[in-house]
Amino acid sequence: MAATKREIRDSYDNLGGRLYDLRYGAEQREKYETILAEVEVKQHEIILDNGCGTGLLLEYLSTTTIGLDISSSLLSKALTRIRDKYDKHLIQGDAENLPLRDHVFGRVFAITLLQNTPNKARALEEISRVGHKGTRVVVTALKKAFSEEAFRHIIESAGFMIMNFINDEKLSDTIAILSLKIF
């Protein structure tokens, strides 16, 4: 039986930001570096880091970025990372019901998020809703949670066009770089 949103939130809240970074920080940074070598982030774009955790990705981005996460504990740690940055913002929210306007973001990152969403299709629909035509979306999936075939099926069923698929053996996630098919 899949975990509920409350169980997922409580699990990350109990883990805490410091322990999260100790346990997953190096692994996450490796993913970000691989992704940012493939995806151009333009200075004028507004970025969404959906499932931002402790805000590690925010350190890599030099444009206006919104970090969203369900865990107040992880967001608290993220706040310490962005405290002096005027162009970084945090929101506590649900990836399946994003509290954001339609067609705002030029890039959306959802790194190691899907396995933590009870309704993966809904989370991807929400990503599509907040992106605009031409938005590049990066979604990753833990290899131990999804086969490559299952991951591709989820993405394509949500109406995304796969631009690049990275299945690097040194990474714990498979990376999908996508384009929205809206408008």
Question: Taking 80 as the threshold, does the pLDDT of residue 16 lie above it?
Answer: no
- The pTM score is 0.92
Tell me the CATH architecture of domain 5-94+101-179: 3-Layer(aba) Sandwich (3.40)
For residue range 48-70, list pLDDT tens digits in order. Answer: 999 999 999 999 999 999 999 99
Alpha carbon separation from 12 to 53, 121, 177 (Å, rounded): 9, 22, 26
For residue range 75-131, list pLDDT tens digits in order. Answer: 999 999 998 888 999 999 999 999 999 999 999 999 999 999 999 999 999 999 999
Domain boundaries of the chain, sorted by first residue = 5-94+101-179
The pLDDT mean for the chain works out to 91
Question: Taking 70 as the threshold, does the pLDDT of residue 1 lie above it?
Answer: no
